[in-house]
Structure formats: structure tokens, C-alpha cells
Amino acid sequence: MAFMPVALLCSLTILSFSSLSSSLSWNYYYKSCPQVESIVAQVVHDATSRDKTVPAALLRMHFHDCFIRGCDGSVLLESKGGKKAEKDGPPNRSLHAFYVIESAKRAVEAVCPGIVSCADILAFAARDSVVLSGGPRWDVPKGRKDGRTSRAIETTQLPSPAFNISQLQKSFSLRGLSMEDLVALSGGHTLGFSHCSSYQNRIHNFNSTHDVDPTLRRSFASSLKNICPVKNKAKNAGTTMDPSSTTFDNTYYKLILQRKTLFSSDQALLTTPKTKSLVYKFATSKKAFHTAFAKSMIKMSSINGGQEVRKDCRFVN
Ligand code: HEM
Ligand SMILES: *[C@@H]1O[C@H](CO)[C@@H](O)[C@H](O)[C@H]1NC(C)=O
Ligand SMILES: *[C@@H]1O[C@H](CO)[C@@H](O)[C@H](O)[C@H]1NC(C)=O
Ligand SMILES: CC(=O)N[C@H]1CO[C@H](CO)[C@@H](O)[C@@H]1O
């Protein structure tokens, strides 16, 4: 699998990014841009009232940003010349709503030019997205810098939906994240939508003995097959992550227990005693999920990277 060599090569760099996280602080913009969080919250709120898919998009965008080169806004950069940026790498189909971050940045620049990084704006926007969807609120550590590099090929460092538990554990631990972080953060899948291509492998030609992944509930697999036929499939076909896909509740964990989640990586959380007991805990208590999610988001969003404050989130200075 192409994932391994890249991941190994990059593991050292990723570890050194996470050790920089102590450079973040809670009151970073206290004097230089006290209004920044309310400005971003307003932009995210307005965008969400026009398009309900915005919160899921921004939450996932922040995750992708943090997992590649640390949370440094690398996901926001445009491809330049022949050099394709992360945005144009393979698992980019669900990344959208970049315009929301760009418009928040413009609004912030109008008040405090050159002060607030795009990476921080994305971290605020991800938090605001969760709050707007009925999830927990947390204080975002601040002071990230924007990076100057974004490479499409590096999106292969993102965990794949076909990953098993050991592959997921490895991907998270390379970034200083634990199994508890893995279970809590996977709860982001209570929001949003997935295209057929992300779970097609589970419902057609799964392996040489099973056409359909036997860990999927049969009735659920049939409905997925109707949405995603092998042939004549609509390019944008897919399904919501959970029936309450705009609400930040704990339905996702209940669905795992019912074998009705879309990805092998979701179902894999039942395959070790430790992760399984966390799935039970979060399925039983929305409060426990919310508390754990907030804590793990602070950890994930503290994986630091860049070196400048970009003027425009799409281009390096
Ligand atoms: C554990 C490893 C993870 C894997 C393998 C994974 C994989 C995926 C895949 C394949 C999709 C669907 C893409 C598509 O077909 O459109 C998706 C969507 C999504 N993911 Fe994850 N993900 C993981 C972790 C996370 C984390 C940590 C978060 C945030 C905390 C997150 C938040 C989301 C959201 C909100 C969506 C819906 C996006 C939208 O509707 O625009 N995921 N994920
Ligand atoms: C997970 O997948 C990897 C790579 O295919 C394999 O080496 C490993 O044994 C698998 N682990 C489990 C727990 O299935
Ligand atoms: C196919 O997958 C099922 C469920 O994971 C497993 O039990 C079976 O051994 C697999 N078959 C092959 C040939 O790998
Ligand atoms: C929206 C977008 O940028 N899509 C790109 C995703 O990546 C593929 C290549 O893997 C491009 O062909 C798409 O244009």
C-alpha cells in the first residue's frame, strides 16, 4: 500500500510539529485582535443559515489540515503551476466550503490586518461549526502559523476509510493522538455526508469469500447497494453519515453498535476491548461524548506547523 512509505518518511516531521504545540496560548489575540472569534463565528453562522452542509465541511477541513503538516492552513492553499496542492489530492471530494474561511479571513483582515493566521481561523470555524450543530463549546488554543507548502501527494497520509484498528491507531499515534482520541474524534461522523466511493469496497466484491462486508447489517447493506449500484452510478451519489446528520449528537456510536456505519474504520472501533468500551460509553452518554470530543479536538488542533500569517488563505505571502 502506498500509504506506508510516505507515513514512515513523515513520522519524524510530524512528531516535531506536535512538540511545537506549547507555542500556542489561550489569550494570543487578547490585545492584537480581541474581536477575531466573534467575527469568525458570525461568518460561519451566516454561511450555515444559507447552507446546512457548511458545518460538516469545516469540521472535516480542519481535521485534514491538522493531519497533514500540522494545523497550518496547508489545506487552504491553491495549486500553483504544475504543483498540485492538497485540495487537489485524491480524498478531496468532500472538502468544500473553502469560501467560508476565505470570507472569514477577509472580515478579520478588515479589522486586524496581518495578525490572525488562516490556520487559527479554520480552528475557530471548526469549533463554531460544532457549537452551531448542538455540540460542545471549547476554548481554542491560538497562535498557529500558516505553512508555505501544500502537496497533493501528502493527502495519502490521511487515514483511509478501509483502515483496520491497528492502521488507525498508527495514524493517530504518529500525531500524538491516543485510542481515546481516535474514538472521540471519529464521532465527527455524526455530521455530514459520504460519497459512494468511500464505502463502495464494503458493498461490492468485498473479498474473495464475501461480496458484502459481513460486519455490515444486511438490511443496511441492501439500502447502500440501492444508492450505490456497481454500474450507472450517479457521480455525486452517497448518503448522510447518520439520519441526524446536521446534529452533533451521539447517534454515530449507537449506529456502530447496530452495524450501520458507512466505513470499515468506524466499525473497526468495536474490534479492541478498549475502543469498544468507549463506543459503549459514548453511545450511552451524549455528555461523555461531548466532553471527550472537546478535549480531543484541543489536542488535534494543537498539532502545529507553519511559519507565517498569510494575507490570503489561498496563497503564501
Ligand atoms: C478516523 C479516521 C477517519 C477516516 C478514515 C475518515 C474518513 C472519512 C470519509 C471517507 C469521509 C467521506 C468523504 C466523502 O466520500 O465525501 C469522511 C467524512 C467526514 N469526516 Fe471523516 N474520517 C476520519 C476521521 C475524522 C475526524 C477526526 C473528523 C473530525 C473530527 C472527521 C469528520 C468528518 C466529517 C464532518 C465528514 C463529513 C464531511 C462533509 O459532509 O462534508 N473525520 N470521513
Ligand atoms: C490491519 O491491516 C494491516 C495491513 O493490511 C495488517 O498487516 C494487519 O495485520 C491488520 N490488523 C488487524 C488487527 O487486522
Ligand atoms: C473476508 O472477510 C471476512 C470478514 O472480515 C473474513 O472473515 C474472511 O476470512 C475474509 N475472506 C478472505 C478470503 O479474506
Ligand atoms: C474538487 C477537486 O479539487 N477535485 C479534485 C480531486 O482530486 C482529483 C485527483 O485525485 C482531481 O481530478 C479533482 O479535480
Q: Which numbered atom of ligand 4 lies nearest the CA of 96?
A: 1
Q: Which of 64, 96, 195, 204 is catalytic?
A: 64
- Residue 21 has what pLDDT? 52
Q: Which domain holds residue 182?
A: 165-297
Ligand 2 binding pocket, CB closer than 6 Å: 164-167
> 195 in a domain, yes or no?
yes
- Read off the pLDDT band of 22 (50, 70, 90): low
Among residues 7, 157, 24, the alpha carbon closest in space to that of 86 is found at: 157
Measure 253 CA to ligand 2 centroid, in angstroms: 23
Residue 59 in grid coordinates = 469540521
> 307 in a domain, yes or no?
no
CATH value at residue 112:
1.10.520.10
> 177 in a domain, yes or no?
yes
Query: How confident is the prediction for the chain on average, in pLDDT?
Result: 92
> Could you report how far apart the first and last alpha carbons of the chain are, in Å?
36
Measure 166 CA to ligand 2 centroid, in angstroms: 6
- Residue 91 has what pLDDT? 74
Q: Cell numbers 458507512 correspond to what residue? A: 262
247 is in an annotated binding site: no
**Phi, psi (rounded to 5 degrees) for 234:** -70, 140
pLDDT digits (tens, 9 = 90+) for 228-244: 998 767 788 999 999 99
Above 90 in pLDDT, residue 151? yes
DSSP H or E segment with residue 122 = helix 118-132
Above 80 in pLDDT, residue 193? yes
159 is in an annotated binding site: yes
Number of domains in the chain: 2
Same domain, 180 and 53: no
> 279 in a domain, yes or no?
yes
- Residue 128 has what pLDDT? 98
Same domain, 150 and 202: no
The CA radius of gyration of the chain, in Å to the nearest whole number, is 19
